[in-house]
Amino acid sequence: MKDLIARQLYQPAVVLPLLLLTRLMVTLDFNLAQVMFVMVLRGSQQAYRFALRHAVSATSRQRTIAGVVKHLPCNNCC
**To 5 degrees, how large is the angle CA 34–CA 51–CA 43?**
15
Quote helix, strand, coil % in the chain, to nearest 5.
75, 0, 25
The domain ranges of the chain are 2-53
Q: How high is the mean pLDDT in each 10-residue block of the chain (78 residues)?
A: 79 88 94 96 94 79 58 60
**Which pLDDT belongs to residue 11?**
84
Q: What is the pTM of this model?
A: 0.60
